[in-house]
Structure 1
């Protein structure tokens, strides 16, 4: 089974999410090829990923901004190409992957298998349902597979060590259905949430944006951590939307997750319960967060967090 992985790019470079998708593709048991829609430099970078046999580079300007309306027909054409088509298409379950994959599935007239957690067989996978409270094993009967990969569930392939060939490919080009206007991205010196090894998250108990910054930021600075938040904190305006961890935010699985003043609503737990070590600080001993925490501290966060920060 030959698999085609869509490369996720960030500032013109291959994003870590791609490496997890490559690992998932390799578990299907066949050759792994990577499609890079963008600059030549990203294609050369993808060629170094361990386990990748070939890199397909779509250098047409129509694909440079990863518009799903343009990229999906390109992928569908590669999947269905006579003699050299692919059996499976995989994309990271990111904003870009979730935008492109359903369109590919529709063009191929197959069912998409979303957000897989593991590969159980050639066409059998596990995926979360009910906000992650149950894990379903699903099997596809379609001739072609279209899959999105929960990147936190798979180890990252080595970014160096491969020596794949790079082949130029072309497709239908600009579909004329959309155009790229601009990108407004938050720039930060901190690690990106989905790839951070340590995350400090705050909840609604932090009262307001000033208090959130005063309590959470010093602790995150001491730990070299990314900053996250519950949906309640985001909705209250304490922090921007891109800080949100949870079912409707970002799915994370760091080595250490510190939850400060977060009660542990099911939607938040769905986004962080795969973290290796979870530390919860909450004054309510019955807070649901303690059911998933490895270490729990029942205390007033306004006393406990500054004291912890001072001792680090």
Structure 2
């Protein structure tokens, strides 16, 4: 079966889907609004299923790959949530100390796609750690709709502090070289920007289509940034001009790329919004950027 791409869907359907996955409209509202775009013989339900993640089909690195070691690591929450947990992945064989990268998920918690991303980084000789913001609520539930519902109930002030705690855990691992970067996608891209405003010695941050901090917070950034944006992402791109001006005013070392003709989520190879060419280029740039700043 030929894999569908964003070009197989009406642009208005993609906009509706973006609003749905980010909690701006309900599942019912999506189905009602998308019904008019469904082709003959197809229902809006089938349309939604076609747009939804296919984790198994997209997996690149199996969890039991002999080239890596992977484990779930628990650590205390600083704000009374009890225990937190993240997915820690290292190369199976290495010498000396390795650079570390915090991997921040989208607004569904630590799902199989983000775990796969974490394994990919380990194969490129990083120690990668992906915390699950949903762990205090039982962890990623295995269903994207349920995950979004749970995510909306999080206290974001506490959750952001939890990510700061996760960054400290990773930074202090004895196997690390003392240099830490952060990479995040969608919601996680916003958190990567946030971490850059809060961690003075963060060595690099790579937000993929993430929301931007305020001008006041941007002035606190010391880390070099590599920013990835999609040209067809009106929601996130609306904040880019002000962020760009604030970065320049603060003298922040940054690189920014807007990938033409692609959608929000273009790096996520589990959904039709994935764009192979843009994702490949963005990932190559990301690995080169992290290597140059963390080694």
TM-score (norm 2): 0.29
More strand per residue: 1
Q: Which has the higher helix share?
A: 2
